[in-house]
A and B are shown apart, each in its own frame.
Chain A
Amino acid sequence: MLSESVVVNGKTAAQLPLVVIEPSQGWIRINLAELFQYRELVFFLAWRDVKVRYKQTVLGAMWAILQPIITMVIFSVFLGRLAKVPSDGVPYPIFAYTALVPWALFATGLTQASNSLVNGANLLRKVYFPRLVMPIASVLVGVVDFLLAFTVLLAMMLLYGFAPTSAVVVIPGLFLLTIMTSLGAGLWLAAFNVRFRDVRYIIPFLVEIWLLATPIAYPSSLLSESWRQVYAINPMVGVVEGFRWALLGTDTAPGPMVLVSSIASALLLVSGVFVFRRMERNLADVV
C-alpha cells in the first residue's frame, strides 16, 4: 500500500512512475509509449546535428543543394549524353535529379543512423534514454537537406515546363517510405556497427551498390513488366519510380512496385527494430 502523504515535488508516492530494472530475457518488446515521451530528445538531437552539420564550411547549407546537382550534372553528361541511357521520354537532367532528391535523403539517413551509436558512444555511457532515439534522430537530419533540394526540384520543374498534377499527393507517402527504409537499414547496420567496426567501412560500398541497384541513372522500364515487381523488393525502387510518376508524369505505372516496396520496407524496419533492441541491452558495455 502506498502512502497518501506527499513525498517529493508535491507528489505522493502513488503518483510517481515506477520503473523495474531486471535482466531482460528473449526478444524485448518495443516500448512505443516511452519512445513517444522522448520525442523532444529526438527533435533536439536532430536539431543539434543539423546545426553542426555545415558549421565552419564556406558554402554552408548550399551543400545540401550542390551535392545532388553535381551528381545530376555528372550523370547527365556521362550517362545521358555519352551512353545515351533512356529516360522515359523526359529530359535526362530532371529525370535523374527527381530520383536523386529522395535518394540523398535515404543515403544520408542510412549513413548517419548506422554511425549514430558509435559516434554517440559517450552519451550512451552516461545517460539513459531509449536507444532508438539516436538512429531516429539521425535519419531526420537529412530532412532539412531534402526540403532544400526539393525546392530546387520544383524550380527545375518550372524551368522544364512540368506542371504538378493531383498525383503530388502521394509525395508525403513516398517521403515516409524513404524514411522508413533508411531507418530500417540504418538500425540493422547500427546494431552491427557497435560490435564490428568493419561496418563503418562497408557503408560507403553498400550505399554505392544500392545506388546502382536503384533506377536513378536509368529507368526501371528497361526491365520487363513482370520483373519490375521483383526489382521493387529494393524499397528505393518504389520511391524513385513513384517520385517520377507523381512529378514528371512518366508512364511506368508504379502502383504494384510501390506496394512491393512498402511491404519490403516495413519488413526491413520491423526486423531492424528487433535486431536493434536485441543488441541494445549490453550496448553501454560494448560500444
Chain B
Amino acid sequence: MNKQVSAPREKVIFEHSRPGRTATAQFPAAADGVDDLPKHLLRGEAPRLPEVSELQAVRHFTRLSQLNFSIDTHFYPLGSCTMKYNPKACNSFAMLPEFLSRHPLAPESHGQGFLACMFELQEMLKEVTGMQGVSLTPMAGAQGELAGVAMIMAYHKARNDLARNEIIVPEAAHGTNPATATMCGCRLREIPCGPDGDVDVDALRAAVGPNTAGIMLTNPSTLGVFERKIVEVARVVHEAGGLLYYDGANLNAILGKVRPGDMGFDVIHMNLHKTFSTPHGGGGPGSGAVGVGKRLLPFMPVPVVGRDGESYRWVTEKELPQSIGRLSGFMGNAGVLLRAYVYMRMLGREGMQRVAEYAALNANYMMARLKKAGFDPAYPDRRASHEFILTLKRQAKEQGVTAMDFAKRLLDYGFHAPTTYFPLLVPECLLIEPTETESLEELDGFIDAMIAILEEARSEPETVRTAPHTLPVRRLDDVRAAKQLDLTWKESA
C-alpha cells in the first residue's frame, strides 16, 4: 500500500523573506539621497516588501503557476467565457520591443505602425459586426456595457427626449446589467422569456413606451439559444423610440454567420478576451470594444483612430464634442488590442466565418452525446448555439449530488468545470462551452468523465459530494473566508 506524502504547501512569499536578502542584479546604481525633499513628506520606515533572492522569487512564482488550471494545460469549457486557445504569436508580436516601449503620449508621428494596427482592427471589427463605428477604449466587458448604455442615454438627451430612462432586460440577464443601468442614471425593467428560451414578445410590447430608452440583449441569449424573433424585437423597440444594445458575450456563436448590425442593434460591446482570443490572464486584462450604428456615432467614447490618406491620427473630444467621454487614462488596453489584431489577421476572412461553425459543431456534439448518456439539457428541443445548459435537478433530487459537486469532481478527472449556477433561471445547471479550438478526443474525454461521475453519483455519491480529492487543496471553507477575514499576510500568523 502506498504511503502518500502530501507535498508541502507553497509558502506565502513573505515567509521566504530574510532581512537583507536581495536580488541586486535588479538594482540601479546607487543614487544620491532625496535631501531636497521636505522631511515631513518622507517615509519613516521602508515598506514591508519581501526580501528574497532572484532564484527564490522565480522558483516561488513558477511553482504557484503549477497550481493553476489553464487553457494551455486543461480543457476549460466555461460557458459564456469562450476559453479558446490564445495563440502564442499574438503575444510575441504584441510584445515587440518597439510596441512595448512606446509612451501613450508620444506623438502620432512615432506611432504610425501601432496606429495602423488599431485602425485596421477597428475596420475589421466593424465588418464582422455590421456596425458603422468602433471605439477600442473600454477596458473590459463591463466598461463596454457602461459605454453602450451611456451612449443610448446621451442620444435621447441630445434629442431632448428626457422621459426615456427605462432599460428593458430579459430575466436571464447577466449580473452587470442592473448595475450598469443605475450607473447611467436609468432604471431596469425585466421581461420574461418564453418556455423555449426566446424573449416573450407580447410582454415586450406591453413593456415599451415613451419611457423606454432601450433594450439590452444578448443573442444567442444567456440560455444558449438563438433569439429567433430578433427582427420583430428590434422593430417593436425601434417603433417605440428605443434603441437596441447587444451584449457581445456570446458573439463566438454567430461570428461570420449573422451580424448584430444586421439584426437591428444600435450599439454592441464585444469581449475581445472571449471572441478574439486575447488572454484571460487569471482575471483580466479584458477589452470591451464597442461598435455603433449611425445614430450613435457622435457619442462614441474617445479616443478613436482616424485616417487621413496614408497617415493615422487620434480622434478626440475636439472632433467628437458629444462623446460620452474618456473611460481610461490613455486609450484602453493597447497591448490587448494588438493581440486581437494579430488573431484576426491570422484567421482572416475565411477563418472568421468558420469560428461559429466549429464552435456550434462542438457544442451540439457534446449536447447530443450527453443527452444520450442520460443528462438533461435545459432546452432539449433547441439547437445548442456555441454553448448549452444541462440541468442536474434530477440528480440533485435523486442522489443528493449537486451541480457544484459535479463541477468539483470534474477537476479530479483533469477538466476544468463548466460554469455553474448561471443562468440563475435554470436550477442546478452547468453551462458548457467547448469553443472551436478543441479536438474531438478532448470532447470525448470530457463526456466520458461526465458519464463516470454520473455513475459515481449512483454508486458512491460521497466521493462526488466531497470532491475534489486530487488537487493541491480540498474543498475550501468559504463561510470561514467571509467571516474570519484574512486578507493580508501577517507576521504572527
Are chains A and B native binding partners rather than an unrelated pairing? no
